[in-house]
Amino acid sequence: TAQKETLGFQTEVKQLLNLMIHSLYSNKEIFLRELVSNASDAADKLRFLALSNGELYENDADLKVRISADKEANTVTITDNGIGMTRDEVISSLGTIAKSGTAEFFKNLTGDQSKDSQLIGQFGVGFYSAFIVADQVTVRTRKAGESQGIEWQSAGEGEYTLQEIAKESRGTEIILHLREEEKEFADEWRLRSIVTKYSDHISIPVEMYKAEVPESEGPDGEKIAAEPAKWEGINRATALWTRDKSEVTDEEYKEFYKHVGHDWEEPLSWAHNKVEGKTEYTSLLYIPKKAPFDLWNRERQSGLKLYVQRVFIMDDAEQFMPSYLRFVKGLLDSNDLPLNVSREILQDNKVTQAIRKGCTSRVLKMLERMAKNRADDYQTFWNEFGQVIKEGPAEDMANKEVIAKLLRFSSTHTDDSTQNVSLEQYIERMNSEQDKIYYVVADSFAAAKSSPHLEIFRKKGIEVLLLSDRVDEWMMSHLTEFNEKSFQSITRGDLDLGKLDDEEAKKAQEESEKEVAGLVERIKTALGDNVKDVRFTHRLTDSPACVVADDNDMSSQMQKLMESVGQ
Ligand code: ADP
Ligand code: MG
């Protein structure tokens, strides 16, 4: 027999396993959802590859998952005839966490279990959840088109073994040896009810073995025929997105999200649409509740799952969402794209553009609706993803107005760092003399809030938006007006408060301007080439002086931003 090899888990896997076991104790049954979800993904991948190479089916194109339990041996087995894994794939998929930036992320763990398990949630649950109920997991797998099988085995405690095996059937078999205290899962009825609860939406059949039913007699002595033992489908086995909206329950949408989104939280919102006409497609788009840990990682994969006529084509098709909506998860099923569509073809394609346009406006509408009807949820959304949305005005000129409506700011109205003021609210609070939307951008919220430029506004009771996110200066350079009110930075050039200045005050200012003319000259000479100009200002009420940018120059924020990207 082949040599057995022992390998160690990546450090992060050990931490993940440990945290998972301690944080999911109240919801152990989800291990089955995760393993069935993986089996379904494996079927999708095989079907896709078989489009160009039918031999991969090995005369078995009837893709399915089977679940069985053995009470005596105390095991649960999940078998699929999907794509399977090679030795290398087993090592990378079941021994590491294959996401860039993971090590970095794990360095931030605090050691406080309850806090850390919250963080860990961003990874989704996945295969390792098997160890919540099992103290020994065996994976036997053979990749489609390959002849060599491989067996992986682990107790989930730091290492695993690998051994080459002969495996006739293609695909993957996962045998869970249950922990003594989790015996209850080795029960057919228990397993059935878990599948019904979490995996009914899986589009391939999930089957369980039904024992032989002997011939019997009915109440009136009539004969009831015997039934032979057989594998019986226990899920609905139709692709959820092909069903009618009115027939899908919220629960089903939520469970489906966990499957397509590889997330363990429920989504915040979703939109399911069938589009007919020139381009025909179905979209099912979800807004997650939490931002992934790598939202700002440039190499991060994002995008939708793409299906063509119900056949899975690819994950992470990023062409259907603009970058400022890169947190959206879900799927598209197109009737117009060819089955052999590639990323290159998608790149520059009329169908892609039409779908992208439709999906973008659908997401924006969904957010608008949430902002209007579910303010708390919208605030949750904004706290997680607001900074990404702020890239919108620069990226998506066509939807600038709609995006501006979605923006939320801190302002002097509350002086709180929570960004919860909309432009509509700001305008509503404006007095009749005010015709501009005033804002200040600084390095931090504290700096914005205590900016000396604010003094005159506070005195006059004029609300000012307080901006301090990295992206803010960039965003404001692309926002010119909202509802016919233009934006005005209070730190730029000659600030004209227009009608907001009263006549008497103006006169007094002119007087004092004359008085200090000599002083201004002296300061100008002293500062020399370090400044462009020195001006008298009536903007300050408490501070003696402040630095401003000329109207045509870059603001100090923008200069810093440009420096940070190497300009
Ligand atoms: P995810 O499903 O989010 O990728 P998992 O932890 O659930 O993460 O699975 C990790 C990887 O292991 C999968 O991406 C896949 O490559 C591989 N895998 C897991 N189960 C199977 C299976 N039944 N058949 C083929 N590959 C599998
Ligand atoms: Mg998975």
Counting ligands in written order, the one closest to the CA of 315 is 1
CA 294, chain centre distance (Å)? 10
- pLDDT higher than threshold 90 for residue 98: no
* C-alpha pair distances (Å), 340 with each of 110, 243, 363: 47, 25, 28
Q: How far is the CA of 271 from the centre of ligand 2 (A)?
A: 23
Q: Please give the distance, rounded to the nearest whole angstrom, from the Cα atom of residue 243 to the centre of ligand 2.
A: 23
Structure confidence at residue 292 as a pLDDT band (50, 70, 90): confident
Q: How far apart, in whole angstroms, are the C-alpha atoms of residue 505 and residue 363? A: 49
Q: Name the closest-CA residue to atom 19, ligand 1.
A: 38
Atom of ligand 1 minimally distant from the CA of 128: 6
Residue 93 Cα, ligand 1 centroid: separation in angstroms?
6
Q: Is the pLDDT of residue 19 over 60?
A: yes
CB 362 within 8 Å of CB 285: yes
Distance, CA 366 to ligand 2 centroid (Å)?
27
Say which range, 291-300, 365-374, 447-456, has the weakest mean pLDDT. 291-300
Q: What is the tens place of the pLDDT at every residue in 36-66?
A: 999 999 999 999 999 999 999 999 999 999 9
Neighbour tally for 310: CB within 10 Å: 14
ipTM above 0.95, yes or no: yes
Residue nearest to ligand 1 atom 21, measured at CA? 38
Do 387 and 473 meet the contact criterion of CB atoms below 8 Å apart?
Answer: no
**Residue 158: both structure tokens together:** 């730091």
542 alpha carbon, distance to own chain's centre: 46
- Say if residues 424 and 372 touch (Cβ distance below 8 Å): no
Ligand 1, closest atom to CA 80?
A: 23
Coil vs helix vs strand at 401: helix
Alpha-carbon torsion (424, 395, 318, 275), positive or negative: positive
- The CA 256 to ligand 2 mean position distance, Å, reads 12
For the residues of 172-232, what is the DSSP string, one character each? EEEEEEE-GGGGGGS-HHHHHHHHHHH-TT-SS-EEEEE--B--EE-TTS-EE--B--EEE
Region 154-159: mean pLDDT is 94
Yes or no: say if 178 and 185 are a contact pair by the CB < 8 Å rule. yes
Q: Who lines ligand 1 at CB under 6 A?
A: 34, 38-39, 41-42, 80, 82-85, 93, 124, 126-127, 172, 262
pLDDT level of residue 562 (50, 70, 90 thresholds): low
Q: Whose CA is nearest to atom 15 of ligand 1?
A: 93
Query: How confident is the model at residue 500, as a pLDDT?
Result: 65
8 Å CB contact between 321 and 366: no
Give how far Cα 361 sits from Cα of 30, 127, 355, 370, Å.
Answer: 34, 35, 10, 14
Of the listed ranges 76-90, 224-238, 243-257, 518-532, the one predicted with least confidence? 518-532
SS3 labels along 249-295: CHHHHHHHHHHHHCCCCCCCEEEEEEECCCCCEEEEEEECCCCCCCC
User: Atom 14, ligand 1: which residue's CA is nearest?
Assistant: 93
Distance 160 CA to ligand 1 centre (A): 17
- What is the spatial distance between Cα 106 and Cα 13, in angstroms, rounded to a whole number? 10
- 3 DSSP assignment: P
Q: Which ligand is nearest to the CA of 263?
A: 1
Is the pLDDT reported for residue 502 higher than 80?
Answer: no
Question: Which residue minimizes the CA distance to atom 16 of ligand 1?
Answer: 93
- Ligand 1 atom 12, closest CA: 93
Annotate 17-35 with b (16+ C-beta within 10 A) or e (fewer): bbbbbebbeeebbbbbbbb
Q: How far is the CA of 293 from the centre of ligand 2 (A)?
A: 17
Give the pLDDT confidence of 302-345 residue by residue, as tens digits.
999 999 999 999 999 999 999 999 999 999 999 999 999 999 99
- Bridge partners (DSSP) of residue 410 are 466
Looking at residue 355, its pLDDT comes to 97
Given the DSSP bridges, would you call strands 171-178 and 75-80 parallel, antiparallel or unpaired?
Answer: antiparallel
Distance between start and end Cα atoms, the chain: 62
| Smallest CA separation from ligand 1 atom 3, residue | 262
Give the mutation target among 16, 35, 38 for probing the ligand 1 site: most ligand atoms within 8 A of CB. 38
- Lateral strand order in the sheet of 311-317: 269-275, 281-287, 329-334, 304-308, 311-317
Q: Which of 140, 126, 137 is nearest to 177 (CA)?
A: 137
Query: Ligand 1: distance of its center to the CA of 509 in Å?
Result: 71
pLDDT at 496 over 70: no
Provide mean pLDDT across the span 63-89.
97
Q: What share of the chain is helix, strand, coil (3-state, %, to 5)?
A: 40, 20, 35
Looking at the CA of residue 89, tell me the nearest atom of ligand 1.
16
Q: Which residue has the higher pLDDT, 57 or 17?
A: 57
Dmax over CA atoms of the chain, in Å, equals 118
